[in-house]
């Protein structure tokens, strides 16, 4: 008998409970072992839940799980980062296997928790922390055994992808699209981590750390969010047949790791443009395999819960692989990824200055720009430039403009 302590019974936690409870006989036939959830940690026993569960399984005390010698595996689907970290650390020190979906904990504490798992000969698995139902973590662990991964690109956040899809397809502003996402349960009441790109940054840090065999700290990943995109931009994007997507990108080159998260403009026939609503896609490039793409639901109750349960089954079968432990931590995500290529640039002047003033400054930096719109804001396409050059130009003119927005619209086909 394998006993599980489930910490959290929210959206994902209830999904985990239902899968294990409903398929327990199949698991027993498949792996020859009974799997049972012995205790479930909740905040409120009296809360109305759309799930059939015995009240006797519920507990308010984490020690009923963490200190129970009969509990073999601790599953963390809690939302609180600090609490979850303390519980996971305690569980590993208490010689219990750990499975978590908490990307905030994994991205910031991966090395420490992997070290504890090694010291105590237990598993620390986190497939559900990136990509929801997409089996990307285990695929990466297997892939790097033979291949040399040098680039990652992906739409890693379902909330922002849903918002951008609605903005583009319905022609609505960011505020209205965000409210729609909140009404449908895709966005939290406080959506800051999603819309500012921080959630994508954490997931990118996890993938990059595994892919490049070198720790990447999300604190050193430059993040720009989707709240910079206006309805005016959306209208111009559609005319240009370009689609905005929040994309996390990293690459390894010359013993450095470069990473960034920002809205990029992709061609409307590209594979990125066809990833809509809450779906995710992750592209890996390796010297042996070339490009591999992983596509699926990036969030939601059942896809994420399924990834959690797959980690549990790997533990029960003894087929799991822990990640590498880095004895000497070296922060490697300290160089931002910048792009050379075509850029979309929108400038809104202030203090009565006309667009000719802005055009004159642009000529100093890039004489080949193409004016797309000069009625209200000045919108231009810069045919070939770098993000570093754009930043220098922005510093030159920012005192004379009310608003500046730029988006890379280069080679993504």
Residues in the annotated binding site for L-homoserine: 188
Residues belonging to the binding site for NADP(+) are 7-14
For 323, the token pair is: 């990640």
- With residues binned 3-state (H G I as helix, E B as strand, rest as coil), the percentages for the chain, rounded to 5, are 40, 25, 35
Task: Give the torsion sign (CA, 273, 274, 276, 280).
Answer: negative
Question: From the annotation, which residues make up the binding site for NADPH?
Answer: 103
Tell me the C-alpha distance between 17 and 386, whole Å: 50
Binding residues: 7-14, 103, 188
Residue 239 among the catalytic residues: no
Cβ-in-10-Å burial (0-12, 13-18, 19+) of 328 comes to exposed
Helices (H), 23-130: 24-31, 63-66, 81-93, 103-119
The CA-atom distances, in angstroms, between 166 and each of 158, 244, 245 are 12, 11, 12
Angle between helices 24-31 and 301-317 (to 10 degrees): 30
Q: Spot the catalytic one: 203, 267, 353, 375.
A: 203
Tokens representing 206 are 């996890």
| Helices 158-170, 174-183: inter-axial angle, 10-degree rounding | 130
* Beta-carbon-side half-sphere exposure of residue 241 (alpha carbons within 13 Å): 5
Tokens read off for 290 = 């070339």
**Three-class SS of residue 54?**
coil
Quickly count: other Cβ atoms within 10 Å of residue 73's Cβ: 24
Looking at the annotation, which residues are catalytic? 203
């Amino acid at each position: 008998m394998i006993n599980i302590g489930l910490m959290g019974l929210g959206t994902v936690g209830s999904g985990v409970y239902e899968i294990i409870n409903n398929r327990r006989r199949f698991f027993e036939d498949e792996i020859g072992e009974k799997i049972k959830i012995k205790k479930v940690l909740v905040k409120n026993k009296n809360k109305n839940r759309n799930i059939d569960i015995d009240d006797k399984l519920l507990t308010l005390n984490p020690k009923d799980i963490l200190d129970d010698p009969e509990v073999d595996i601790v599953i963390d689907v809690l939302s609180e980062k600090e609490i979850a970290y303390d519980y996971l650390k305690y569980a590993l020190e208490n010689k219990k296997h750990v499975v978590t979906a908490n990307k905030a904990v994994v991205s910031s504490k991966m090395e420490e928790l992997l070290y504890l798992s090694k010291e105590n000969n237990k598993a620390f698995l986190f497939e559900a922390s990136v990509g929801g139902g997409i089996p990307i973590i285990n695929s990466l662990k297997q892939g790097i055994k033979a291949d040399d991964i040098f680039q990652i690109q992906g739409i890693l956040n379902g909330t922002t992808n849903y918002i951008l899809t609605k903005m583009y397809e319905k022609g609505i502003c960011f505020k209205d699209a965000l409210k729609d996402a909140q009404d449908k349960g895709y966005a939290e009441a406080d959506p800051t981590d999603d819309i500012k790109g921080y959630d994508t940054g954490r997931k990118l840090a996890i993938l990059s750390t595994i892919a490049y065999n070198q720790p990447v700290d999300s604190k050193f990943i430059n993040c720009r969010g989707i709240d910079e995109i206006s309805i005016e931009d959306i209208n111009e994007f559609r005319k240009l047949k370009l689609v905005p997507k929040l994309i996390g990108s990293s690459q390894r080159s010359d013993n450095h790791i470069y990473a960034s998260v920002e809205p990029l403009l992709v061609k409307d026939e590209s594979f990125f443009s066809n990833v809509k609503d809450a779906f995710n896609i992750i592209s890996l490039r390796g010297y042996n395999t070339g490009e591999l793409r992983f596509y699926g639901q990036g969030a939601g109750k059942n896809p994420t819960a399924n990834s959690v349960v797959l980690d549990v089954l790997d533990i029960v079968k003894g087929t799991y692989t822990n990640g590498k432990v880095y004895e000497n931590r070296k922060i490697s995500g300290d160089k931002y990824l910048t792009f050379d290529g075509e850029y979309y640039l929108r400038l809104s002047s202030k203090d009565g200055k006309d667009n000719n003033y802005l055009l004159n400054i642009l000529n100093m930096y890039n004489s080949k720009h193409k004016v797309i719109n000069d009625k209200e804001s000045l919108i231009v396409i810069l045919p070939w430039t770098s993000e570093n050059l754009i930043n220098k130009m922005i510093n030159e003119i920012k005192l004379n403009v009310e608003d500046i927005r730029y988006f890379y619209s280069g080679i993504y086909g």
